[in-house]
C-alpha cells in the first residue's frame, strides 16, 4: 500500500472552508488506497498575531518561550484538520511534532532535525488513521518544544517522508509547480515535470521562491523526492529529485528573474589581502544580504569589485562603505539601482558547451546590455537594466527552446 506525505501551508488552512477542503483531499487520497500523513502549518496570520503579542509583552522574548508560543499555531491547525477529517467519516488523529517523533537539537527558533522516530506514526497508519502532524516543530531530547525556522513545515514533510520511506511527498502550495519562467513574464512558459535538487536550489536563489532552500537542501541530503503542486487544482506538479542521467539532455531547465536589485562597484581597490574582506564585513555586519560578487582580473595593483544587493538596502550600503573606501585606500564607490538579475539554470550546462555564448548572443541581438556576469556549475546569471528584464527573459526562454511554441516547432 502506497504511503503518501502531503504538506499544506497556512493559506491552504486559512478558513474553515479551506480546512474542510484539505480534509476532503486527504480522505480522497486514503480512499484511493493510500496511507496518508498530513503535515500542517499554522493558519495564515496566526503566527504573525502571536509574534505581535510576544513583542507587546517583551522587547526581547526568550527564544525558548517564542518556540513554546509559536508551536501552538500548528497544534491548533492540526487538531482542526483532524476534526474535519473525522467529520467526513474517516479516522484521523493529530500529533504534535514531539508526538510524531521529530527530535531536534537545542537551537530554539531555528532548530535542526536530528532524528525522526516514526514508530507511532507507523502504528497509527496500520490502524487506518490519517495522521495529521504539526509542521515547523520538534522536541529536544529533554522534552523542550523547538521550532525549525522559515520553511519549517516543508522540512517536516520531507523529513517524515524520508523517515517513513514514503512513496511520495507532496508539497501543496498556491502555485501549480515550478515553471520554465514566471508565466506573468513569459506567457508560454511551461510547468517543469522533473527538476534536480540543485536546479531547484539555484532557481530558488534566483527569485523563484517556491520552496525555502533549507528544505530543498535537506531533501537532497537524504535523497527524498518531493512534488510541488497546487492545493487548488488536481493537476500534477513538479517533481524535485536526485539527478538522473537523461536530465542532462536538457541544457537549461528554466530562466528566472529577480527585480529590484542594485549594483554597487568599488573601484581602485588596492590589490592586497583583506581589502575585499573589509568591504563585505561592513555590509554583513548590517545584516544586509549580498547576492552576486564579481571581481575582475586586476591591473596596476588595484582592482574593481562589484556586488548586488536588494535595492532597498542601497542607501544603507552607500553610507556604510563611505568610510571603508577611505580606510582601505580604494578610489570610490559607485552604485546603480533599477537593475535586475536574469539567470539560466540547468544541470545540462555541465555537459553542454556554448550555453553562456547562446545567452549573451540572444541578449546582444536584442540590444540588451550586460552589466555583470557570474556563473556557477549549473547557472549563468547576468545583471541588466530592470527595464529590459521582461524582454530579456522572453528572448532567453526562446533561445533555450523552453516554451510551448518551441516544443511544437520541434515536433515535425
Smallest distance, its own copies to C-beta of residue 161, A: 23
Q: How far apart are CA 304 and CA 316, in angstroms?
A: 20
Residue 54 or 168 with smaller CB distance to its own copies: 54
Sheet containing 137-139: order of strands? 113-116, 102-104, 137-139, 145-147
Q: Which DSSP letter does residue 228 get?
A: E
Is 82 a binder of its own copies (CB under 8 A)? yes
Cβ count near 101 (within 10 Å): 20
Contact by Cβ (8 Å): 242, 162: no
Work out which of 44, 51, 69, 356 binds its own copies, going by CB under 8 A.
69
Query: In angstroms, what is the minimal distance from the CB of 4 to its own copies?
Result: 22
Quote the CA–CA distance of 149 and 136 in Å, as a whole number.
7
In sequence order, which residues have a C-beta less than 8 Å from that of residue 76 and are 6 or more positions away?
A: 42, 43, 46
Q: Binding-site residue total for its own copies (CB under 8 A)?
A: 38
**Cβ 204 to its own copies shortest distance, Å:** 32
Give 40 or 178: the residue with its C-beta nearer to its own copies.
40
Question: Looking only at residues 9 through 68 of this chain, which bind its own copies when binding is defined by CB under 8 A?
Answer: 16, 19-20, 23, 50, 53-54, 56-62, 64-66, 68
Long-range contacts for 200-204 (Cβ within 8 Å, ≥24 apart)?
A: 200/240, 202/343, 202/345, 202/376, 202/378, 202/379, 203/178, 203/253, 203/254, 203/256, 203/343, 203/345
Q: Is 169 in the site for its own copies (CB under 8 A)?
A: no
Distance (Å, whole) CA 309 – CA 294: 12
- Closest distance of CB 83 from its own copies, Å: 4
* Interface stretch with its own copies, choices 87-95, 226-234, 284-292, 332-340 (CB under 8 A): 87-95
The residue count of the chain comes to 412
Residue with smaller CB distance to its own copies, 77 or 204: 77
Residue among 40, 50, 43, 42 nearest 16 (CA): 43
User: What is the 8-class DSSP label of residue 346?
Assistant: -
User: Is residue 240 within a helix (H) or strand (E), and if so which, with residue range?
Assistant: strand 238-241
Closer CB to its own copies, residue 52 or residue 184?
Answer: 52
Residue 66 or residue 396: which is nearer to its own copies going by CB? 66
Task: Give me the least distance between CB of 10 and its own copies, in Å please.
Answer: 14
Nearer to its own copies, 50 or 276 (CB): 50
Closest approach of Cβ 78 to its own copies, in Å? 7
Piece of the chain touching its own copies by CB under 8 A; list 91-99, 302-310, 354-362, 375-383: 91-99
Supply the minimum distance, in Å, between the C-beta of residue 157 and its own copies: 20
Interface with its own copies (CB under 8 A): 16, 19-20, 23, 50, 53-54, 56-62, 64-66, 68-69, 71-73, 75-76, 78-84, 86-87, 93-94, 96, 99, 143
Amino acid at each position: 500500500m502506497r504511503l503518501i506525505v502531503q504538506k499544506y501551508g497556512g493559506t491552504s488552512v486559512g478558513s474553515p472552508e479551506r480546512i474542510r477542503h484539505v480534509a476532503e483531499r486527504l480522505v480522497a487520497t486514503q480512499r484511493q488506497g493510500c496511507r496518508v500523513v498530513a503535515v500542517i502549518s499554522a493558519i495564515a496570520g496566526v503566527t504573525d498575531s502571536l509574534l505581535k503579542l510576544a513583542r507587546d509583552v517583551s522587547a526581547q522574548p526568550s527564544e525558548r518561550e517564542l518556540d513554546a508560543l509559536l508551536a501552538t499555531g500548528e497544534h491548533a491547525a492540526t487538531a482542526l484538520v483532524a476534526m474535519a477529517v473525522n467529520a467526513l467519516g474517516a479516522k484521523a488523529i493529530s500529533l504534535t511534532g514531539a508526538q510524531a517523533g521529530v527530535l531536534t537539537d537545542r537551537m530554539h527558533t531555528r532548530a535542526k532535525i536530528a532524528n525522526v522516530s516514526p514508530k507511532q506514526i507507523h502504528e497509527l497508519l496500520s490502524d487506518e488513521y490519517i495522521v495529521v502532524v504539526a509542521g515547523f516543530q520538534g522536541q529536544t531530547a529533554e522534552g523542550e518544544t523547538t521550532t525549525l525556522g522559515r520553511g519549517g513545515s516543508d522540512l517536516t514533510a520531507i523529513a517524515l517522508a524520508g523517515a517513513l520511506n514514503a512513496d511520495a511527498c507532496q508539497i501543496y502550495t498556491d502555485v501549480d509547480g515550478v515553471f520554465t519562467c514566471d508565466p506573468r513574464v513569459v506567457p508560454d512558459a511551461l510547468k517543469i515535470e522533473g527538476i534536480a535538487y540543485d536546479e531547484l536550489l539555484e532557481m530558488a536563489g534566483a527569485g523563484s521562491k517556491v520552496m525555502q532552500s533549507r528544505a530543498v537542501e535537506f531533501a537532497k541530503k537524504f535523497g527524498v523526492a518531493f512534488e510541488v503542486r497546487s492545493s487548488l487544482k488536481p493537476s500534477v506538479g513538479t517533481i524535485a529529485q536526485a539527478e538522473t542521467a537523461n536530465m542532462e539532455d536538457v541544457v537549461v531547465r528554466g530562466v528566472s528573474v529577480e527585480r529590484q536589485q542594485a549594483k554597487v562597484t568599488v573601484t581602485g581597490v588596492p590589490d592586497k589581502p583583506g581589502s575585499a574582506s573589509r568591504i563585505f564585513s561592513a555590509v554583513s555586519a548590517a545584516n544586509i544580504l549580498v547576492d552576486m560578487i564579481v571581481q575582475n582580473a586586476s591591473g596596476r595593483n588595484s582592482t574593481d569589485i562589484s556586488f548586488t544587493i536588494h535595492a532597498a538596502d542601497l542607501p544603507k550600503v552607500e553610507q556604510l562603505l563611505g568610510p571603508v573606501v577611505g580606510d582601505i585606500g580604494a578610489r570610490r564607490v559607485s552604485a546603480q539601482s533599477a537593475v535586475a538579475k536574469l539567470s539560466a539554470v540547468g544541470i545540462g550546462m555541465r555537459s553542454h558547451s556554448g550555453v553562456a555564448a547562446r545567452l549573451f548572443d540572444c541578449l546582444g541581438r536584442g540590444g540588451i546590455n550586460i552589466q555583470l556576469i557570474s556563473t556557477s556549475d549549473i547557472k549563468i546569471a547576468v545583471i541588466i537594466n530592470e527595464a529590459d528584464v521582461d524582454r530579456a527573459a522572453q528572448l532567453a526562454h526562446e533561445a533555450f527552446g523552453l516554451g510551448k511554441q518551441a516544443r511544437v516547432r520541434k515536433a515535425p
